[in-house]
Amino acid sequence: MNLQTNLKHISTEADYNKIVSDNENIMICCGRMGPMCVPVYAEMEDLQNEYSNVKFYDMLFDLPEAGVIRNMPECAGFMGLPFTVYIKNGKVVKATSSIQSREQITEILDSVF
């Protein structure tokens, strides 16, 4: 099962590992189709066109395979969805939880990538 977004979806840990090994700059939003998550997906869909150097993905939080993100040390204290991780060269360089505005997202994209 995938989220109803226009983003590329990650549905298995194998997908995740391949994406991380094949791409330098990645933003992954792990959540549900809820009120805190949908605005983040919408911003990511818009930003895909502006940040050609970044690959944008979503992952359904409730998938057992999403443990690859849920269980990251960088996400340990997170309480609110979505969990959003920014990965550069295979390493998590930033992680956020809960809703993020376009300005918050672009500030992170500009600083880590």
| Sign (positive or negative) of CA dihedral 18, 19, 25, 28 | negative
Is there a contact between 84 and 36 (Cβ–Cβ < 8 Å)?
no
Residue 80's domain comprises 8-112
Q: Is residue 62 domain-resident?
A: yes
Q: Domains in the chain: how many in total? A: 1
| Residue 2 pLDDT | 85
* pLDDT exceeds 80 at position 1: no
Could you read off the pLDDT of 87-112 as tens digits, one per residue? 999 999 999 999 999 999 999 999 99
Could you read off the pLDDT of 17-51 as tens digits, one per residue? 999 999 999 999 999 999 999 999 999 999 999 99
- Per-residue pLDDT, averaged over 73-94, amounts to 97
Torsion region of 98: left, alpha or beta (phi above 0 gives left; psi -120 to 50 gives alpha): left
| Domain CATH for 50 | 3.40.30.10
Order across the sheet with 25-31: list the strands.
8-10, 55-60, 25-31, 83-88, 91-97
Q: Is residue 3 domain-resident?
A: no
Q: Is residue 1 domain-resident?
A: no
